Structure 1
């Protein structure tokens, strides 16, 4: 998933001094100096590996193994083709960061090492299930969940206070009531353009339905499913509180920049979007607050799209054991916790969410992770999201007056065509 990780306003400083993680066993190559003279190459994506975390990890890895760590930061532009090529070569990078929704496709081509037997050793028994799902293909573990981010309600404290709202909503009905109170005060309650596809995907996750389904041996559109219609009707209700265009997405214009003008009560956004709003209008900073997107009941938040990254070992790497030593260290509680503190990302274990304390945006995002999900985890899916995304066309059609069934029928042929493309 392409994203720029910008620490949210108020991120707590990373804990001082990362504790040592032990020197491992003395037999084989697991002890200190066991891999002396070797170099492990790791590819991180731009913005994913914060400076102090990387420095501490490198020092501990080299101390523990005796090997050198070569960290190479890659750019998002063109990474899929670059990674595909690299994994097919005789000397690929040993460890790679991969977008969580892209992992199954790379696993299906044979580019990633099977980590099924390694999962327990890496701490996998405690990984959050929803985070680990994209790292598994046909029952086998091909990567390890590293972190995720998800949307929260970013709101204007002054507008909510002026509307007489004293407590943040914990259910969807209460949320709608509050949006109504803001509208009664003459403000735009919510900025939600008609094509915020990832917000809709979260509602689909909550309904337990995918936008595609298997028909024999092929994948086809599932937009005609009644549960998809339910999710879209819910989206339409949210959108009724917004003046945003029905035929644009959240980046056209940037929703955070609209929010920065101070006339909108809230929007559904990522933590880093607050920084975008503040850049556009520094005065808005003191008014920004966050809360978890409410679900039907107070005990379960709304479904959300989980975008994030996994760490995997290249199947062609000749340093499988050294790569596993790296994963054990990078995924340890010490370094997962440190990553969360420095970057505000959600760690792969629920027990580590305490490291998010003091980061209001991350604290708001964390409760929804367990009930979150992703887009369909199939190689064919990427073609569906290529511009112009037919699901966005479907959304605009429903918001413009067509029934969900009519809108689904109008884009079904295009979706099926894209799903049939050879990958």
Structure 2
């Protein structure tokens, strides 16, 4: 073939090769899906409540990670706790709610029973439910029915906190506060000391919410449970009120004995739980029946709503188990869950968002930021390395939550009203000197009947008013507390008797030294005067002799 022919052939081959490359690249790019900009329909809706300092930043950081992993955008809406139940109820009922929603653990059975929540059973193989503690997992379904309608997010556990400078100054140890009788003895001792802080306020022993509060029934629960009672109880005929059970009445009596006592908890009848917590963190209260987020706040500066520079931040915290009653030591366990509304049941992206936030690493990150406890055992094992959480995590083994019956949402509102009514009873009559056990018995009986109405139980009260009063008037045991010697030197609390004793000894020492100084000075003056007189007489004699 002539050279010109060869050149032409090579040129044709090269052109065909280049065309093939272009065609290959064209089809390759054509097969790649082009990501369109997310539209409003693609954006997930997440509703949560404010769960403590830094909770909003923590949830937004989590959403940023989720969107980076999945390219799914999420719109976040923060709903205040005061309006959360009503807003969520309306949204779920109309079907115009979010794709994923935070629910109080006691709300799940109520909404699930109404058919407002998606059944999550199909995705449980991606969750490993065994990693959640039983009390938190129990709230994911409706009692007596199949189906899982939420996943645990974090725990709200109540335990007994104490100001460490108080406990250290008195040498109070765990064995000194194991029982209710011992606890009452310590409160009695503190009431008689009448310590005063720098703020000018007295150091009060304890505080309970007695006015306009929504946590009173949670704090009352431990008193009732440790006495062997309960709010409701399951029988062969179904669930019924347990308010008139003798053990329940004794638990209420112990709670009320502290609530109305003007020396043990002088501000309780006029304060809610937030005010009680503030008094404790201001160093003006020795003990608090509080939740775990206070531990986390001890690490945070004031700019992040923390307590590191507060009086309690400087005094320190001590944690004790709930004082033991006849039925043991039983803390209250609450918390929050995440659920998918029925309207988003088929939304795969909603399931991805839910599963993302209940992953162990994300549970750990979020719960650590807000200070509430994780419901995941694997995360708990990590937290247990922090000594501040060890006893609290161990106490969960004996903890108890409210029953997962659909009627509980209504019963809970009833109990909130009841605890506030009890506070009002003693607040409005505190200076009359009247025996209010009869009025207290009427409040308990009224709510007993209302609970049975919600539970569709029609029966006459098993106990008369006089029988209720007789139980409420039973004496409450109290063990005298004797302070131990402090293990180390403690800076006394302002107004402590040790300061006045130190001043007294210093004054006596000053007077003694002054007396010695005066005696020595007088003797020296007397000696100087004697010497001066002798010298004067000698000079006079010499002067007379010279004149002679």
TM bin (shorter chain): 0.7 to 0.9
For residue 342 of structure 1, what is the aligned residue in structure 2? 369
Distance 1:352 1:416 in 2: 43
Q: Equivalent of 2:48, from 35, 44, 51?
A: 44
Aligned to 2:139: 134
1:120 shift after superposition: 3.9
Larger Rg: 2
Give the secondary structure class of the aligned counterpart of 1:78.
helix
Aligned equivalents of 2:293, 2:405: Cα separation in 1: 28
Alignment of 1:155-166 (within 5 A): 155-165=162-172
RMSD: 4.1
Matched, 1:251 2:266: no
How big is each residue's C-alpha offset from its partner over 1:57-109, in whole Å with a ceiling of 9 and x where there is no partner?
32443344342222222222322222122113344311100111111111111
Higher relative contact order (CA 8 A, sep 6+): 1
SS in 1 for 2:107: helix
Alpha-carbon offset, residue 348 of structure 1: 1.3
> Equivalent residue for 2:324?
296
**Relative to total residues, which structure has the larger helix share, 1 or 2?**
2
Is the Cα–Cα contact under 8 Å of residues 155 and 289 in structure 1 kept in the other structure? yes
CA contact (8 A) 2:292 2:372 kept: no
C-alpha contact 2:161 2:289 (8 A) present in aligned 1: yes
TM-score, with length taken from structure 1: 0.74
C-alpha offsets along residues 244-286 of structure 1, whole Å, 9 cap, x if unaligned?
A: 259727517821343356453212123456869987x933421
261-270 or 182-191, larger mean C-alpha shift: 182-191
Match of 1:190 among 205, 209, 213: 205
Tell me the residue number matched to 2:393.
366
Look up the match of 2:157: 150
Offset at residue 140 of structure 1 (A)? 2.5
Alpha-carbon distance in 1 for matches of 2:354, 2:274:
40
Q: Mapping of 1:61-100 within 5 angstroms?
A: 61-100=66-105
Residues in 1 aligned to 2:71 and 2:274: alpha-carbon distance in whole angstroms:
50
Cα pair 1:91 1:317 within 8 Å, conserved = no
Q: Deviations 1:97-127 (Å, cap 9, x if unpaired)?
A: 0111111111111110112343342121221
Matched, 1:113 2:118: yes
Between the aligned partners of 1:397 and 1:104, the Cα distance in structure 2 is 33
Deviations 1:308-342 (A, max 9, x none): 21000111115433222222221111111111221
Q: Which residue of 2 aligns with 1:312?
A: 339
* Aligned mates of 2:222, 2:381 — CA distance in 1: 24
Q: Alpha-carbon deviation of 1:174?
A: 5.6
* Gap change, CA 1:414 and 1:152, over 3 Å in 2: closer
**1:77/1:256 Cα in 2 relative to 1: closer, same or farther (>3 Å)?**
closer
The aligned counterpart of 2:252 is 232
Distance in 2 (CA, whole Å) between partners of 1:250 and 1:357 is 34
2:59 to 50, 54, 58: 54
Structure 2 SS opposite 1:369? helix
Stretch deviating more after TM superposition (376-385 or 112-121): 376-385
Contact 1:219 1:420 in 2 (8 A): no
In 1, distance between residues paired with 2:363 and 2:281?
33
| Residues 117, 339 of structure 2: 8 Å contact kept | yes
The structure-2 alpha-carbon separation of the partners of 1:304 and 1:310, relative to structure 1 and needing over 3 Å to count, comes to same
CA 361–70 in structure 1, closer or farther in 2 if over 3 Å, else same: farther
- How far, CA to CA, are the matches of 2:223 and 2:98 in structure 1? 37
CA offset at residue 223 of structure 1? 1.1
Change (3 A) 1:410 1:284: closer
Following superposition, the deviation at residue 182 of structure 1 comes to 4.1
Aligned match of 2:198: none
In structure 2, distance between residues paired with 1:218 and 1:294: 30
Q: Which runs of 5+ in 1 are unaligned?
A: 1-32
Aligned residue-pair number: 385
Deviation at 1:219, TM superposition (A): 6.3
Q: Which moved more, 1:93-102 or 1:186-195?
A: 186-195
Q: Structure 1 residues 215 and 392, CA, compared in 2 at 3 Å: closer, same or farther?
A: farther
8 Å contact from structure 2 (residues 191, 205) kept in 1:
no
- Cα drift, residue 135 of structure 1: 1.9
Secondary structure in structure 2 of the residue aligned to 1:353: helix
